Amino acid sequence: MEKYDLCVIGGGPAGYAAAMRAIDFGKKVILVEKERLGGAGIYDGALASKTMWELSARYRRVYDELGKDRADRNLDITFDEVKRTVDEAIFDRKFQLTCHLRIIHAETGLITYEKGLASFLTDKEIKITKENGDELIIYAEHTVIAAGSSPRKLPNIQVDEKIIMTSDGIGHMDDFPESMVIVGAGVIGCEYATIFANFGKTKVYLIDRAQRILPFEDEDISELISRNMEKRGVQIHREASLKRMEIKDGRVEYEIEKPGGETEIINVEKALLSIGRVPNIAPLKIENAGVQMSKRGVHIGDVDTQTNIPHIYAVGDVSGRIPLVNVGEREARHAVVRMFADFPVKPINYENVSTIMFLNPVVAAVGANEQMLREKNIPYRIAKVDYSTIARAISMGNPEGFFKLIVTDDDEMKVLGMRAAGYHASAAIQSVALLMDMNKGIEELAHMIHPHPSIVEGVQEAARMLLGKSIYKSAVFKDKLKCYSCRDGVCTPLNVIKDDKNDIIKNYKEELKN
């Protein structure tokens, strides 16, 4: 029986990161993947969907610039071309990972890759069942479970991944469907609605159980995204419950119930279920290792990433915590350091996780939003800067979006969170995430000399507004700039210009009009 310092179960982003971090410690590692190296991070997941989104966004920009008549005559794209672009991106990433793994194996001899299904026999003995039925049993001093997740399905709906699909079936379509219903108005459902609406070849219906899409975000984000969706023809079924969905004559018939009890039956070509993901746990037989489960996934106790069995760790989607590639990779590296480092290791800070939602426009987020803080009755201050006041946004010709910076309602003004919606939003979030991680206020952000013209100047102006030092005053551009404090459910404007200066404001506004 071959012995290893570490067995990593799952070759997706988290598992691959864990294996490579263990190499840094000179440990002997076996990486086990049941299907394809790279996992959902490459195939039918983040890389595939974001490549598709990028192509759809470029297509839509050109379409809008040409105008409908010229675009309809001169611009076209086929689904085969979309799939070819996605396949090229997947191949590039797969090639990188595979070559890298082989070179590391050849140069160090520390890592072994096995394709097969891993399952626990004991807490340190793991069986690997290969595609041809052969079995291999190995011994591992430590194990990282990074088996990922799969799309959630509904028990009363038959998913064939051809007509009624999850995200796993999108890339296997032959053509753009003329119509599609998407069940679930969370991030992934809204991303796919945006993609197909951008291409303009599919009538998209979106079923939303809540009053508004993206219900976990503030209303200004939800309203901006839903407004743009509807402009591009997406029909949103708000506060609708799905009564049934079935395949009839090769198409999808679904019935929804509206808030007043009225029902509606709609027939479409395809359906996409986007209702979350479930951890890939059952085949692992973790009960043989004594690992405990929680309602959401593998149980993680007081020590982040570590299960109740001290030498077994769970990272990424299997923990049921935050199903994001960047979180999974961070947890995986952290778990390995906890295993093998001879120095104290700080817990992971989950308060400053940065996320990107590939919508129209892009939304980047870190930390708390207003909705979260109001629910917890936490006082806060906020500065909101519209893209239309930022030189770079104006120069790009699409000044739609905003920055919203949220800080504590005290003199320290430590950063609680930020939301950015618009072009280059994802590039602007990280400086704020760093301030949160360092438990800092906004003074440094306000005093830095930012590149010009750049979108991130809007973040700096938001910080200056909170400090009362902004170039544009929120009392003047009330429709573009907002700065206020909120406490006990009451919001009060900050930096209000005194009454004796009202004449100056009026005159200034008249000058702007002229």
Residue where a domain terminates, one of 275, 298, 333: 275
Give the model's pLDDT for residue 475: 82
Q: What is the pLDDT along the chain (514 residues), one digit of tens a residue?
A: 899 999 999 999 999 999 999 999 999 999 999 999 999 888 888 999 999 999 999 999 999 999 999 999 999 999 999 999 999 999 999 999 999 999 999 999 999 999 999 999 999 999 999 989 999 999 999 999 999 999 999 999 999 999 999 999 998 899 999 999 999 999 999 999 999 999 999 999 999 999 999 999 999 999 999 999 999 999 999 999 999 999 999 999 999 999 989 999 999 999 999 999 999 999 999 999 999 998 888 988 777 899 999 999 999 999 888 889 999 999 999 999 999 999 999 999 888 899 999 999 999 999 999 999 999 999 999 999 999 999 999 998 889 999 999 999 999 999 999 999 999 998 889 889 988 888 888 998 888 888 899 999 999 999 999 999 998 888 888 889 999 999 998 999 987 554 444 555 555 556 656 5
Residues 315 and 427 in one domain: no
Residues 298 and 334 in one domain: yes
List Cβ<8 Å contacts ≥24 apart for 330-334: 331/14, 331/304, 331/305, 332/14, 332/15, 332/17, 332/18, 332/21, 332/144, 332/146, 333/17, 333/18, 333/21, 334/304, 334/305
- For residue 46, give every residue at least 6 positions away whose Cβ sits within 8 Å of its Cβ, in sequence order, or none: 40, 325
Exposure string of 162-173, with b = 16+ CB inside 10 Å and e = fewer, is: ebbbbbbbbbeb
Task: Encode 113-130 in three state secondary structure.
Answer: EEECEEEECCCCEEEEEC
Residues 131 and 210 in one domain: no
Residue 156 resides in a domain: no
Peptide bond into 451 cis (omega under 30): no
Residue where a domain terminates, one of 231, 257, 275: 275
Residue 241 resides in a domain: yes
| 297, 281 contact by CB (below 8 A) | yes
DSSP string, 169-181: HHTT-SS--SEEE
Q: E strands along 238-320, which residues?
A: 241-248, 251-257, 263-268, 270-273, 277-279, 312-314
Residues 423 and 499 in one domain: yes
Residues 282 and 271 in one domain: no
CA–CA distance, 500 with 496 (Å, rounded to integer): 12
Q: What domain range includes position 122?
A: 2-44+83-150+278-349
Give the model's pLDDT for residue 499: 44
In the chain, the number of structural domains is 3
Residue 71 resides in a domain: no
Longest CA–CA span in the chain (Å) reads: 86
Residues 134 and 179 in one domain: no
What the block records as the tokens of 116 is 């097969």
Residue 137 resides in a domain: yes
Give the model's pLDDT for residue 509: 59
CA–CA distance, 205 with 385 (Å, rounded to integer): 32
What the block records as the tokens of 21 is 């971090």
| 186, 212 contact by CB (below 8 A) | no
Residue 69 resides in a domain: no
DSSP string, 452-506: SS-TTHHHHHHHHHHHT--SS-TTTSTTTEEEEEEETTEEEESSPPPGGGHHHHH
Give the model's pLDDT for residue 500: 45
Report the alpha-carbon angle 47-52-54, nearest 5. Answer: 95
| 453, 461 contact by CB (below 8 A) | no
Residues β-bridged to residue 165: 272
Domain containing residue 403: CATH number: 3.30.390.30
Residues 368 and 504 in one domain: yes
Residues 492 and 368 in one domain: yes
User: What angle do the packed helices 79-108 and 46-66 form, to 10 degrees?
Assistant: 140
What the block records as the tokens of 43 is 């195939």
Residue where a domain terminates, one of 252, 275, 298: 275
Give the model's pLDDT for residue 335: 97
Give the model's pLDDT for residue 478: 85
Query: pLDDT of 427-474, one tens digit each?
Result: 889 889 988 888 888 998 888 888 899 999 999 999 999 999 998 888
Residues 371 and 494 in one domain: yes
- For residue 296, give every residue at least 6 positions away whose Cβ sits within 8 Å of its Cβ, in sequence order, or none: 279, 319, 320, 321
Residues 287 and 338 in one domain: yes
Residues 114 and 184 in one domain: no
* Residue 112 C-beta-side C-alpha neighbours within 13 Å: 15
Residue 78 resides in a domain: no
Domain containing residue 8: CATH number: 3.50.50.60
Residues 270 and 311 in one domain: no
